[in-house]
Amino acid sequence: MNREHQNTECTNKELLDKDQFKHEIEEICRIYPMRRSALMPALHLAQQQYGYLSVQAMHEVANILELPPVQVYEVASFYSLYHTRPIGTCHLQLCTNVSCMLANAEMLMGVIKQTLAIEQEQTTHDGRFTLSAVECLGACDKAPVLQINNEPYIEHLTELQLRKLLAQLIEQTSPPAEWHQPETDKVIKVRNV
Amino acid sequence: MFEPVLLKNATLGNAWLLDVYQANGGYDAWRQVLRSYKPSDVIGQVKASNLRGRGGAGFPTGLKWSFIPVDSPSKRYLCCNADEGEPGTFKDKFLMEQDPHQLLEGMAIAAYAVGAHKAYIYLRYEFSLALERLLQAIDSAKSNGLLGNNILGSGFELEIYIHRNAGAYICGEETALLQSLEGYRGEPRLKPPFPAIKGYCASPTVVNNVETLACIPSIITKGAEWFAAIGPEKSPGPKLYCLSGQIKKPGLYELPMGIPLRELVEHYGGGCQDGRQLKAVIPGGVSAPMLPADQIDIAMDFDNLAAAGSMLGSAGVIVMDDTASIVEVVKRTMEFFSHESCGKCSPCREGTLWAVKILRRFADGTATYDDLAQLHTLCTDIAGNSFCALADGAIMALSAGLKHFESEFTERINEPNPHATLKLGGDSEHD
């Protein structure tokens, strides 16, 4: 089995058409003795493809894997890194667990909230930024730690660095393609909690 | 003088390359096993080494492997638990990033021992560098005949695949991991049957932690007696300790199992920042009950820490100095467990949420004496009443905080002390 079948996300940079998408998932199925095992990697692929797991995207996965759609929803809603609602282009994930908390992560969280004018688990109206407080990222000796999307961590983050980083991101980040700006007074939550 | 075992290649800086790994003795153990070991010999060696699982539970690894039925007609599987997520822990990520072949070699030997031809690395999604290095390592091991079909001409076959989690701490629990690998919500299964009998796809399956598997090649090349002679007799071997929190030199340290916690914190970690006093230490990730500063003269191994009412867990050592608020630490820990509860068992799902709500009142300074009593009640009502150990971990963190630092909780109570009133004969004016 070649590298692509082990991890479609790393190698697959272009968007796939429906047939290619189905083909990719069929290839993923081959590494497992049961088709259902391919559900999680298929959802990762769908999320990469569509930006988030829309009902339509989940139905497409359900069709290919011959599963009732509800079984796909229940898996998608269980894991915190599957987004069943649109999220921002730039997803800021600040670790706030104990080691990062002891290294002042709460203050950094305040800086991000204030700069972007959103709360945790919310997205800015222009769809550019989503802010999450995340659980331990496994780099506690380099606390506090921030991850943007799935990029390498930003470690030993200081307030000054964070302010610079945010200014830079605000300048460079565009909204996701097909972002529909909601009514101005509406809070855009990542999920209902 | 202790020579690093698990991290011996990590300092080379490019040990993830097959050539570098092999130039430093890599895959010698795998060659040796294929040349002259029967599967039962490998299990015998690992049993004799007294290696105990490094994921947290400390179960003897050789014994776990020996539970796999040798005459089972169904396929067998090996899963590497690489879903490192216990707050305070960062050892497996480092091993996979810096020395992925050591893990693959350990997995190959383990798969051979239990007769598995497919193995999965259940990897935490956020670890993108580890993913990249592992994929590259699998590729190069395969193209050099060390994995795949007819490995080194032995006729043995093994494919190693990577399965990525999507953000769920509970999937580090081995039966939840298997549910997740099968494409379900990561909810733990009732044991028995144990994974060795009915694991992945209802087939015999071994689930081992990254660090556990990384110990295997050295046990083969240097011998079980060598391994068993490092550290305490009942839980020997080299051990990775993760030091973080309010300490001068946080980092990953490899030392013998059983090193005194005080030595780890003060000598290796350099102690607290100048002018600060040590308050408490969490010895094994947030599930492990914290120890106050005067109780850290204790050996870091499974048995000694258990006897002291804490646990070695993942050896994620979090240090707190006198500026840390125990209420805040306990609250944040409980928020973590509440968020990560899979929701299957109500004592855990509801109990951790209640505890969070109460602890937030302590943090806000709006708690009452009833809240304090309720916290104590929750400790006894939640513990031992769920399928898996997640809620027990949550409760251990809470009860240790209450046991050693109850005054920090009472300081946050915003009402007159009813007990003080009682002592004064019910005269509330004197309160």
Report, as an integer, the average pLDDT of B369-378.
Answer: 96
Report, as an integer, the average pLDDT of A108-123.
Answer: 97
Residue type, A120: Q
What's the pLDDT band for A178 if we cut at 50, 70, 90? confident
For residue A2, is pLDDT > 80? no
Q: In whole angstroms, what is the distance from residue A6 CA to residue A30 CA?
A: 10
Q: In whole angstroms, what is the distance from residue B420 CA to residue B431 CA?
A: 7
Sequence-distant (≥ 6) Cβ neighbours of residue B226 within 8 angstroms: none
Multiple choice CATH, B326-410, 1.20.1440.230, 2.40.420.20, 3.30.70.1530, 3.40.50.2300: 1.20.1440.230
Quote the pLDDT of residue A188.
80
Token pair for residue B407? 């005054």
Report, as an integer, the average pLDDT of B117-133.
Answer: 97
CATH classification of B238-321 is 1.10.3720.10, yes or no? no
pLDDT tens-digit readout, B289-321: 999 999 999 999 999 999 999 999 999 999 999
Residues A102, B246: C-beta atoms closer than 8 Å: yes
Residues B336, A1: C-beta atoms closer than 8 Å: no
pLDDT tens-digit readout, B151-203: 999 999 999 999 999 999 999 999 999 999 999 999 999 999 999 999 999 99
Quote the pLDDT of residue A9.
41
Token pair for residue A92? 């800021």
Q: Do A38 and A126 fall into the same domain?
A: no
Q: Do A68 and A142 fall into the same domain?
A: no
Is A149 within 8 Å of chain B by CB?
no
Quote the pLDDT of residue B426.
43
For residue B430, is pLDDT > 60? no
Report, as an integer, the average pLDDT of B58-65.
Answer: 98
Q: Under the phi-then-psi rule, with left for phi > 0, alpha for psi from -120 to 50, and beta for the rest, what region is A66? A: left
| Secondary structure class of B158 (helix, strand, coil) | strand
Q: Which of A36, A41, A138 sits opposite B89 (nearest CB)?
A: A138
- DSSP string computed for A17-69: -HHHHHHHHHHHHTTSSSGGGGHHHHHHHHHHHHSS--HHHHHHHHHHHT--H
- Whether A69 maps to a domain, the answer reads yes
Is A177 within 8 Å of chain B by CB?
no
Q: Do A164 and A94 fall into the same domain?
A: yes
Domain boundaries, chain B: 10-228, 238-321, 326-410
Q: In whole angstroms, what is the distance from residue B146 CA to residue B153 CA?
A: 10
Is B185 within 8 Å of chain A by CB?
yes
**Interface TM-score (ipTM) > 0.90:** yes
Instruction: Indicate the range of A97-101, B70-74, B204-208 predicted with least confidence.
Output: B70-74
| Secondary structure class of A11 (helix, strand, coil) | helix
Q: What is the mean pLDDT of chain B?
A: 95
Q: Do A109 and A173 fall into the same domain?
A: yes
- Count the neighbouring beta carbons within 10 Å of the beta carbon of residue B276: 16
Q: Do A95 and A169 fall into the same domain?
A: yes
Sequence-distant (≥ 6) Cβ neighbours of residue B335 within 8 angstroms: B356
Comparison of pLDDT for B381 and A179, the residue scoring more: B381
Q: Do A26 and A64 fall into the same domain?
A: yes
- Whether A70 maps to a domain, the answer reads yes
Q: In whole angstroms, what is the distance from residue B358 CA to residue B372 CA?
A: 8
Q: Which architecture does CATH list for B10-228?
A: 3-Layer(aba) Sandwich (3.40)
Q: Under the phi-then-psi rule, with left for phi > 0, alpha for psi from -120 to 50, and beta for the rest, what region is A38? A: alpha
- Whether A83 maps to a domain, the answer reads no
pLDDT tens-digit readout, B131-146: 999 999 999 999 999 9
Which residues in chain B (131-170) have CB-CB distances under 8 A to chain A?
A: 131-132, 135, 138-139, 159, 161-169
Q: In whole angstroms, what is the distance from residue B208 CA to residue B81 CA?
A: 6
Contact A123, A130 (CB under 8 A): yes
Q: The domain containing residue A56 runs over which residues?
A: 3-76
Final residue in a domain of this structure, among A27, A49, A76: A76
Q: Which of A78, A82, A99 sits opposite B244 (nearest CB)?
A: A99
pLDDT tens-digit readout, A51-65: 999 999 999 999 999
**In chain B, what residues touch A96 (CB-CB under 8 Å)?**
332
What's the pLDDT band for A11 if we cut at 50, 70, 90? very low
For residue B382, is pLDDT > 80? yes
Is A82 within 8 Å of chain B by CB?
yes
- Measured in whole angstroms, how far is the alpha carbon of residue A8 from the centre of its chain? 16
**In chain B, what residues touch A140 (CB-CB under 8 Å)?**
87-90, 242, 244-245, 250, 316, 318
pLDDT tens-digit readout, B245-286: 999 999 999 999 999 999 999 999 999 999 999 999 999 999
In total, chain B counts a number of residues equal to 431
**In chain A, what residues touch B135 (CB-CB under 8 Å)?**
3, 6-7, 10
Strands A122-123 and A129-134: antiparallel
Q: How far is B421 from chain A (nearest CA, A)?
A: 37
Quote the pLDDT of residue B415.
79
Q: Do A23 and A71 fall into the same domain?
A: yes
Q: Do A108 and A43 fall into the same domain?
A: no
Q: Where are the alpha helices (DSSP H) in B223-325?
A: 224-228, 261-262, 302-307
- Whether A85 maps to a domain, the answer reads no
Quote the pLDDT of residue A13.
52
For residue B421, is pLDDT > 90? no
Half-sphere exposure of B194 (CA within 13 A, CB side): 9
Percent pLDDT > 90 in chain B is 92
Please, which residues bridge with residue B186 across strands?
Answer: none
- Count the neighbouring beta carbons within 10 Å of the beta carbon of residue A32: 21
For residue A10, is pLDDT > 70? no
What's the pLDDT band for A15 if we cut at 50, 70, 90? confident
Strand extents, DSSP E, B177-328: 205-209, 238-245, 251-256, 278-282, 291-292, 316-321
* Domain CATH for A39: 1.10.10
What's the pLDDT band for A187 if we cut at 50, 70, 90? confident
Quote the pLDDT of residue A8.
37
Sequence-distant (≥ 6) Cβ neighbours of residue A13 within 8 angstroms: none
Peptide bond preceding A144 in cis form (omega within 30 of 0)? yes
Radius of gyration of chain B (CA): 23
Please, which residues bridge with residue A7 across strands?
Answer: none
Residues B184, A152: C-beta atoms closer than 8 Å: no
Scanning the structure block, which residue is given the tokens 């400390």? B58
Give every strand in the sheet of B238-245, ordered side by side: B251-256, B238-245, B316-321, B278-282, B291-292
Quote the pLDDT of residue A186.
75
Q: Do A173 and A98 fall into the same domain?
A: yes
Q: In whole angstroms, what is the distance from residue B56 CA to residue B283 CA?
A: 11
Q: Do A66 and A114 fall into the same domain?
A: no
- DSSP string computed for A58-76: HHHHHHHHT--HHHHHHHH
Report, as an integer, the average pLDDT of A14-22.
Answer: 88
- Whether A82 maps to a domain, the answer reads no
Contact B212, B55 (CB under 8 A): yes
Q: Do A126 and A185 fall into the same domain?
A: yes
Domain tally for chain A? Answer: 2
Q: What is the mean pLDDT of chain A?
A: 90
In CATH terms, are B10-228 and B238-321 the same topology? no
For residue B391, is pLDDT > 80? yes
- Whether A18 maps to a domain, the answer reads yes
- CB neighbour burial string for B362-379, b if at least 16 within 10 angstroms, e if fewer: beeeebeeebbebbeebb
Quote the pLDDT of residue A177.
81
For residue A193, is pLDDT > 60? no
Q: How far is A81 from chain B (nearest CA, A)?
A: 5
- Whether A81 maps to a domain, the answer reads no
Interface size between A and B, measured as CB pairs under 8 A: 144
Quote the pLDDT of residue B215.
98
Token pair for residue A87? 């999220």
Q: In whole angstroms, what is the distance from residue B204 CA to residue B116 CA?
A: 9
For residue A104, is pLDDT > 50? yes
- Whether A103 maps to a domain, the answer reads yes
**In chain B, what residues touch A138 (CB-CB under 8 Å)?**
84-85, 89-90, 92-93, 124, 126-127
Quote the pLDDT of residue B11.
85
Percentages helix, strand, coil for chain B (3-state, rounded to 5) are 50, 15, 40
pLDDT tens-digit readout, A151-170: 999 999 999 999 999 999 99
Give every strand in the sheet of B77-82, ordered side by side: B159-164, B118-123, B77-82, B205-209
* Domain CATH for A127: 3.40.30.10
For helices A55-65 and A69-76, what crossing angle results, to 10°? 120
Q: Do A115 and A40 fall into the same domain?
A: no
Residues B125, A31: C-beta atoms closer than 8 Å: no
Chain B interface, best mutation among A47, A75, A140, by max B CB count within 10 A: A140
Chain B interface, best mutation among A6, A25, A107, by max B CB count within 10 A: A6
What's the pLDDT band for B416 if we cut at 50, 70, 90? confident
Is A74 within 8 Å of chain B by CB?
yes
**In chain A, what residues touch B242 (CB-CB under 8 Å)?**
140-141
Quote the pLDDT of residue B128.
94
